[in-house]
Amino acid sequence: MKKLSVSLLAMTVAGSAYAADMGAVDEPIKLAINEWTGQHVTTHVAGEMLKAAGYNVEYVTAGMMNQFQALADGDIDATLEIWSSNVSDEYAKKVSEGTVVEIGDLGLDAKEGIAYPAHVADLCPGLPAWEALKDCAQVFATAETLPGGRLVDYPADWGTPGADRMTGLELPFKAVPAGSEGALIAELRASTERKSPLLITFWQPHWAMSAYDVQFVELPAGEEACFNDPAWGPNPNAVNDCDFSPSRIFKASWSGMEDKWPAAYEILTNYQLAVEDQQPMMGAIDVDGGKVEEVVGAWMAENEGKWRPVVDAATQ
Amino acid sequence: MTAITDIPAQARLTIGAKAALITVVVGALCLALEGIAPWLVKWPTAWELPATQWVGAFLDWFLNGIKPAMRLFSDLMTYPMDAANFVLANTPWPILIGLVTALGWYLGGLPMAALGFFGLSFVLASGYWTESMNTLALVAVSVPVALVVGGGIGILANEIPRVKNFVQAVLDVMQTVPTFAYLTPLLLLFGFGPVVGLIASAIYAAPPMARNVMLGLERVEPEIKEAAIMSGGTRFQQLFQVEIPAAATQIMVGVNQCLMAALSMVIIAAVIGGFNDIGWEVLLTMRKAQFGESLMAGLVIVVFAVVIDRMSGMLATERKRYDQRVVWAVLGFTVLFTAAFWLWLPNPSELTLLDPLAGAIDSGLTAFTQANGPWLDALKNNSLFYVLLPLRIGLDQAVLPFTWGFQWTPGMSYGLFAAAAVIAALMAWRGHLTGGLVVLILIGMLETGIANLPWPFVLTGAAALSYVAGGWRLAALSVGLLCTILVSGLWERALLSLYLSGAAVFSCAVVGGLIGLASAVWEPVWKIVRPICDMLQTIPLFVFLIPVLMVFQIGEFSAFLAICAYAIVPMIRYTRHGLVNTPAEMMEAAISSGATEWQIMRDVRAPYAAPTILLGLNQTILYAFAMLVIAALIGTTGLGQSIYLALGQADVGLGISAGAAMAILALIADRMVQGFAEERRKALGL
């Protein structure tokens, strides 16, 4: 069977000496759709690339935290935007079992940090320098955190990076875990609308960065030494007295994908998407109300040079 | 107290007084020894057993063992699932609206037909038609599964009375362990996809069916049963040809409750994904904090719930026959309409008729928070400073210069205890010994804070309350179950959950009781309150989190409000129901003896309604616990958060243990309240 399809392929695509085998073209490749818009864009671009290569693609909604069991069972074939800052222990477990394989970086340049909506700079002069937070903690104080200021941290299941920074830098802030992404956005929105103070752990690319004019606090650079060596950085007695370590965004697939659809596997492995490309599409969907299929379709038509070579390299 | 006054007091000690006295002694001992023996207050980590790991390891082994069989079941279930999906997705929308309208007419005449028609038209206008059909497909398959399983359990318990107690306990567990806690094991067992959601909602929806089947079969008149036996039927014939038809009305109530429960699980199923349903839409809009949109998506679920509830509710009542010709006329018109306008029918997912409304609601919320910021903040701060914080960490830690304006000192604690002792002594002297002791206990709890209560005190208190409510067996059960939480290392989180739900239950009892009273006395109030109650119970609870968060920010006060919004409903309903349904002869007797309206309320209606109101309180407690998990999305730090952590990290052991701890707290509270209700009923001779 394999031989036959190879020879068929050789007949149809002349001169494809290094092209990968297409594999089971008539079975759909299932790509995970998680809960956030950036991921929808990433996945739909990849899906369109696979379609252009001649595959069937099926988009399957899947909870970000719960998708790895499905990936290990082959119920989902690939998931294309995993944030190293926010990946469940189950992922590592599945990778060590050998049922899930990592297939390279997505190339999205992500940044996480302590952030605030722009109007907060008026309430706490001296921002974005982090030292300013030492003196205006009481501006951010609330009933739960008195006398310290309040930092809205990631939901508890994403880890406690904000709280670690506050301890490392000895800032008089108490970190309150948000519980969900919706809660983080609601905080940003309420703060912007009421012009109230807010310090929050946040990340980009995210549509809310521009929608609520979110700025990052400038912290000492997040070098490796900062996380291991207490002597490093402004606080000689603690680790974590610096910015976040740069987070990676990568892709993963079911371990059987390479054999089942070799060319598709190659396309997804080589697939990259830049922040400059993803962020405008997210804006077009979340702010202007476009449909993800249309927005991605328009981008694909205009930017063929950015994705066609990856498809061609795998199929021709 | 001197020894002389002690002896006569001892002689007339009631059970309640004895229990309270023991609790006071243990509490006082713990407080006194706090300095020398800190392990009395905080269970040492060294004494904890790695129970969550054990549970995890055992479950891993067990789940992997039965996995192949479950995967087979899962594969089998995809057939009806796909079939339902195919049928619903490919039926043109006018046909479906026509069918539901015709069904409405058949069941309940014009009002039901109108309900069906306008309900589904709303769904169509919202633009969520496709997603709604996916949701309906899920419900259409999970409900029959739940009906069969629930019915089977009910019949089994009826046939073999020995297993009845065990079955009751199993049903309680199915209803009180939060669904989020067992999503991870379900995923492992059944694989990814809609089948997991289907199973989860079937687990949750089966118990009401089982309970109603049991109740219905129990209530079949003995004469009917005897007639069946005398006519020589086999047991099988007796059951299926006589007893079940005789219990049909009660069983239909079960069907109705089962449908509602399955619908309320839709959103939970969406958390896993694998299925582009309406719950997923709610989650997506939630994530963007778009209140208007998520409310619209949530209302679609409410509409389904109301239509299904009212229509299946008609099945449970004796109903008159409506003209069948209308049914055929409606169906005929629908088919003609569809055929005639086939080419012009809009694609339902393109419809956005409700978007302006969603936008208006969203900007309304913005305007509200902007305009009312200061006093809302003041409300939040005052509630936190003066109520929630003292309850949680006690007056000794909550009273600080920047909250109350002064610093709490140990002297103040002694003063407070002395004052409490004086009040207790006064009450005891007036003959209310138990009341006095309870006041002493409550003031002591306020000084220490629920989260800092010494564990021997909590165990003794729970045992004492259980003993008064239900005797030795309940006391032993409570202590045994609480001990499992203690050694599993979830104790601190359990106390935090207890504090938050306790505060919410107390507020709901007071406010809900008053609203229920007002609704009972004054009919117009009930007309306004009832639809609000309906909505609060069926809309996905997630939807409320956004406005609460926008107004009060992340934190315990928001979580407290969200829990109250949900848990207050049964309190209102049961209070009103109990007060309204006083038997006519009691009322007549009271009126003829010349009692005023308020005297009747106080001396006739309220005592008579007490068992019903206690049941309402019981439901409020269970609802508050159920909402704790959802409230964790706002950022609370109790067992709910543990369950989310476990879900995120696929930690089966932690998830199940935290879920079990929550179920244990709910179960103990449930049994205690039921014990008290039973006692009241006996006292009233019911």
DSSP calls for B447-484: HH-GGG--HHHHHHHHHHHHHHHHHHHHHHHHHHHHHH
Which range marks the domain in which residue B29 is found?
Answer: 13-42+377-472
- DSSP notation for A48-65: HHHHHTT--EEEEEB-TT
Regarding whether B99 and B85 lie in a shared domain, the answer is no
Q: Which pLDDT score, from 0 to 100, does residue B222 have? A: 84
What CA–CA distance (Å, rounded) separates B372 from A189?
15
State pLDDT tens for residues A125-155: 888 888 888 888 888 888 777 778 899 988 8
- DSSP notation for B64-85: HHHHHHHHHHHHHHHHHHHHHH
* Residue among A90, A144, A187 whose CB faces B549 most closely: A187
List the structure tokens of B543. 């939807």
Quick one: how far is CA A266 from the chain centroid? 21
Put simply, the answer to whether B366 touches A193 (Cβ < 8 Å) is yes
Has residue A42 got a pLDDT over 90?
yes
What CA–CA distance (Å, rounded) separates B671 from B475?
10
In a domain, B500, yes or no: yes
Regarding whether B654 and B620 lie in a shared domain, the answer is yes
Whether the CB-CB separation of B551 and B376 falls below 8 Å is answered with yes
Handedness of CA B307, B309, B311, B314 (dihedral sign): negative
Domain with residue B192: its CATH number is 1.10.3720.10
Cα–Cα distances in angstroms (integers) from residue B296 to residues A35, B88, B305, in the given order: 19, 21, 14
What phi, psi does B384 have (nearest 5°)?
-70, -50
Q: Which pLDDT score, from 0 to 100, does residue B32 have? A: 80
Measure in Å the smallest separation between the Cα of A154 and chain B Cα atoms: 10
Regarding whether B398 and B497 lie in a shared domain, the answer is no
| Alpha helices by DSSP H, B127-231 | 129-159, 164-176, 179-190, 194-218, 222-230
Regarding whether B525 and B662 lie in a shared domain, the answer is yes
Greater pLDDT, B373 or B335? B335
Q: Report the candidate in B496, B617, B511 with the shortest Cα–Cα distance to residue B559.
A: B496
Query: Which amino acid, B63?
Result: L
Q: Report the candidate in B133, B127, B131 with the shortest Cα–Cα distance to residue B96.
A: B133
In a domain, B322, yes or no: yes
Q: Which pLDDT score, from 0 to 100, does residue A15 have? A: 38
In a domain, B367, yes or no: no
Instruction: For residue B44, give every residue at least 6 positions away whose Cβ sits within 8 Å of its Cβ, in sequence order, or none.
Output: none
Regarding whether B387 and B444 lie in a shared domain, the answer is yes
State pLDDT tens for residues B609-625: 887 888 788 888 888 88
Measure in Å the smallest separation between the Cα of A94 and chain B Cα atoms: 11
What CA–CA distance (Å, rounded) separates A278 from A280?
6
Instruction: For residue B357, give every residue at least 6 positions away whose Cβ sits within 8 Å of its Cβ, in sequence order, or none.
Output: B292, B296
Residue whose entry in the numeric block shows the structure tokens 């009806």: B80
Regarding whether B320 and B424 lie in a shared domain, the answer is no
Which chain A residues have a beta carbon less than 8 Å from that of B193? 70, 75
Has residue A1 got a pLDDT over 70?
no
Put simply, the answer to whether A70 touches B280 (Cβ < 8 Å) is no
The burial class, CB within 10 Å (0-12 / 13-18 / 19+), for B321 is exposed
Regarding whether B440 and B559 lie in a shared domain, the answer is no
> What integer is the mean pLDDT of A70-79?
89
Instruction: For residue B147, give every residue at least 6 positions away whose Cβ sits within 8 Å of its Cβ, in sequence order, or none.
Output: B206, B209, B255, B258
Going by pLDDT thresholds of 50, 70 and 90, the confidence category of residue A252 is very high
What CA–CA distance (Å, rounded) separates B474 from B455?
19
Which chain B residues have a beta carbon less than 8 Å from that of A37? 288
- DSSP notation for B496-527: HHHHHHHHHHHHHHHHHHHHHHHHHH-HHHHH
Put simply, the answer to whether A157 touches B193 (Cβ < 8 Å) is no
Has residue B364 got a pLDDT over 50?
yes
Regarding whether B218 and B74 lie in a shared domain, the answer is yes
In a domain, B298, yes or no: no
Put simply, the answer to whether A73 touches B192 (Cβ < 8 Å) is yes
Q: Which pLDDT score, from 0 to 100, does residue B509 have? A: 92
Which chain A residues have a beta carbon less than 8 Å from that of B636? 179
* Residue among A69, A146, A179 whose CB faces B633 most closely: A179
Domain end marker among B417, B440, B472 = B472
State pLDDT tens for residues A194-244: 888 999 999 888 888 878 889 999 988 888 888 888 888 788 888 888 888
* Residue among A73, A88, A152 whose CB faces B191 most closely: A73
Put simply, the answer to whether B549 touches A186 (Cβ < 8 Å) is yes
In a domain, B649, yes or no: yes
Give which of A77, A82, A91, A146 to mutate to test B binding, by max B Cβ within 10 Å. A146
Q: Does A115 touch chain B (CB under 8 A)?
A: no
* Residue among A75, A152, A186 whose CB faces B193 most closely: A75
Closest residue in B to A286 (Cα–Cα): B288
Residue whose entry in the numeric block shows the structure tokens 């989020």: B180
Which chain A residues have a beta carbon less than 8 Å from that of B400? 146
Put simply, the answer to whether B550 touches A189 (Cβ < 8 Å) is yes
In a domain, B296, yes or no: no
Which chain A residues have a beta carbon less than 8 Å from that of B641? 156, 177, 179
Taking every pair of Cα atoms in chain B, the longest distance, rounded to a whole number of angstroms, is 97
Has residue A2 got a pLDDT over 70?
no
Q: Which pLDDT score, from 0 to 100, does residue A19 have? A: 66
Q: Does A72 touch chain B (CB under 8 A)?
A: no
> What integer is the mean pLDDT of B197-222?
86
ipTM of the complex in this document: 0.77
Measure in Å the smallest separation between the Cα of A250 and chain B Cα atoms: 18
Q: Report the candidate in B647, B546, B537 with the shortest Cα–Cα distance to residue B284.
A: B546
Measure in Å the smallest separation between the Cα of A38 and chain B Cα atoms: 12
Whether the CB-CB separation of A82 and A103 falls below 8 Å is answered with no
Euclidean distance between the first and the last CA atom of chain A, given in angstroms as a whole number: 20
Q: Which pLDDT score, from 0 to 100, does residue B145 have? A: 92
Regarding whether B494 and B438 lie in a shared domain, the answer is no
Q: For chain B, what is the radius of gyration of the CA atoms?
A: 28
State pLDDT tens for residues B241-258: 888 888 887 888 788 888
Percent of chain A's residues with pLDDT above 90: 24
What is the three-class DSSP state of B215?
Answer: helix
Which chain A residues have a beta carbon less than 8 Å from that of B187? 66, 69-70
Q: Does A291 touch chain B (CB under 8 A)?
A: no
* Residue B89 CB neighbours (<10 A): 13
Regarding whether B550 and B442 lie in a shared domain, the answer is no
Domain end marker among B325, B342, B359 = B342
> What integer is the mean pLDDT of B629-651?
79
Regarding whether B626 and B519 lie in a shared domain, the answer is yes
Q: Report the candidate in A78, A74, A95, A2 with the shortest Cα–Cα distance to residue A42.
A: A78
- DSSP notation for chain A: -HHHHHHHHHHHSTT-TTPPP---TTSPEEEEE-SSHHHHHHHHHHHHHHHHTT--EEEEEB-TTTHHHHHHHTSS-EEEEEEGGG--HHHHHHHHHTSEEEEEE-----EEEEEEETTHHHHSEEEEBTTHHHH-GGGG--TTTTTSEEEEEPPGGG--HHHHHHHHTT-SEEEEE-SSHHHHHHHHHHHHHHT---EEEEEES-HHHHHTTEEEPB-S---HHHHH-TTSSS-TT-S--S-PPPPPEEEEEETTHHHH-HHHHHHHHH----HHHHHHHHHHHHTT---HHHHHHHHHHHTHHHHHHHHHHHH-
Measure in Å the smallest separation between the Cα of B137 and chain A Cα atoms: 17
Residues 211-270 of A with CB under 8 A from B: none
What is the three-class DSSP state of B12?
Answer: coil
Torsion angle, alpha carbons of B416, B420, B423, B424, to 10: -170
Measure in Å the smallest separation between the Cα of A308 and chain B Cα atoms: 30
List the structure tokens of A47. 């899906």
Measure in Å the smallest separation between the Cα of A37 and chain B Cα atoms: 9
> What integer is the mean pLDDT of B338-343?
79
Whether the CB-CB separation of A244 and A222 falls below 8 Å is answered with yes
**pTM for this model (two decimals):** 0.81
> What integer is the mean pLDDT of B461-480?
90
Q: Report the candidate in A248, A275, A251 with the shortest Cα–Cα distance to residue A84.
A: A248
Going by pLDDT thresholds of 50, 70 and 90, the confidence category of residue A17 is very low
Residues 153-192 of A with CB under 8 A from B: 155-158, 176-183, 185-187, 189-190
Average pLDDT over chain B reads 83
Put simply, the answer to whether A35 touches B283 (Cβ < 8 Å) is yes
What CA–CA distance (Å, rounded) separates B682 from B671?
16
Q: For chain A, what is the radius of gyration of the CA atoms?
A: 22
Put simply, the answer to whether A183 touches B545 (Cβ < 8 Å) is yes
* Residue among A33, A36, A157 whose CB faces B648 most closely: A157
* Helices B491-521 and B652-684: angle between axes, nearest 10 degrees: 40
Going by pLDDT thresholds of 50, 70 and 90, the confidence category of residue B550 is confident
| b/e sequence B279-315, b meaning 16+ C-beta within 10 Å | bbbbbbbbbbbbbbbbbbbbbbbbbbbbbbbbbbbbb
Q: Which pLDDT score, from 0 to 100, does residue A16 have? A: 41
Which chain A residues have a beta carbon less than 8 Å from that of B557? 143
Regarding whether B560 and B525 lie in a shared domain, the answer is yes
Q: Report the candidate in A291, A117, A138, A110 with the shortest Cα–Cα distance to residue A214.
A: A117
In B527-683, DSSP assigns E strands to: none
List the structure tokens of B184. 């991870």
Q: Which pLDDT score, from 0 to 100, does residue B4 have? A: 40
Task: Tell me the count of A-B CB pairs closer than 8 A.
Answer: 159
Whether the CB-CB separation of A257 and A264 falls below 8 Å is answered with yes
List the structure tokens of B337. 């309409």
Is omega for the bond preceding A147 within 30 degrees of 0, making it cis? yes
Going by pLDDT thresholds of 50, 70 and 90, the confidence category of residue B3 is very low
State pLDDT tens for residues A292-314: 899 999 999 999 888 999 998 88
* Residue B228 CB neighbours (<10 A): 19
What CA–CA distance (Å, rounded) separates B666 from B673?
11
Put simply, the answer to whether B635 touches A142 (Cβ < 8 Å) is no
Q: Does A76 touch chain B (CB under 8 A)?
A: yes
Which chain A residues have a beta carbon less than 8 Å from that of B398? none
Has residue B666 got a pLDDT over 60?
yes
What CA–CA distance (Å, rounded) separates B37 from B27?
14
Whether the CB-CB separation of B246 and B238 falls below 8 Å is answered with no
Q: What is the DSSP letter of B345?
A: P
Put simply, the answer to whether B633 touches A182 (Cβ < 8 Å) is yes
Has residue A251 got a pLDDT over 90?
yes
> What integer is the mean pLDDT of A264-282?
89
Give which of B382, B549, B557, B560 to mutate to test A binding, by max A Cβ within 10 Å. B549
Closest residue in B to A190 (Cα–Cα): B550
Q: Which pLDDT score, from 0 to 100, does residue A18 have? A: 57
Instruction: For residue A41, give every residue at least 6 positions away whose Cβ sits within 8 Å of its Cβ, in sequence order, or none.
Output: A273, A278, A281, A282, A285, A292, A295, A296
* Helices B455-488 and B652-684: angle between axes, nearest 10 degrees: 140
Put simply, the answer to whether A62 touches B370 (Cβ < 8 Å) is no
Put simply, the answer to whether A69 touches B192 (Cβ < 8 Å) is yes
In a domain, B653, yes or no: yes
Q: Which pLDDT score, from 0 to 100, does residue B479 have? A: 93
Average pLDDT over chain A reads 84
Greater pLDDT, B530 or A46? A46
Going by pLDDT thresholds of 50, 70 and 90, the confidence category of residue A51 is very high
Which domains occur in chain A, in start order? 2-108+248-315 (3.40.190.10), 111-228 (3.40.190.100)
Handedness of CA B672, B674, B678, B684 (dihedral sign): positive
Residues facing A111 on adjacent strands: A204
Domains in chain B, number = 4
What CA–CA distance (Å, rounded) separates B63 from B77?
19
Greatest mean pLDDT among A118-127, B175-184, B359-368, B525-534: A118-127
State pLDDT tens for residues B258-279: 887 888 777 777 777 667 788 8
Q: Pick the range with the lowest mean pLDDT from A51-60, A185-194, B167-176, B542-551.
A: B542-551
What is the three-class DSSP state of B239?
Answer: helix
What CA–CA distance (Å, rounded) separates B84 from B136?
9
Put simply, the answer to whether A61 touches B287 (Cβ < 8 Å) is no
Sheet holding A78-83, edge to edge: A57-61, A29-33, A78-83, A249-254, A100-105
Put simply, the answer to whether A89 touches B554 (Cβ < 8 Å) is no
* Residue B324 CB neighbours (<10 A): 11
Domain end marker among B472, B499, B518 = B472
Q: How many residues does chain B have?
A: 686
In a domain, B371, yes or no: no
Put simply, the answer to whether B645 touches A156 (Cβ < 8 Å) is yes
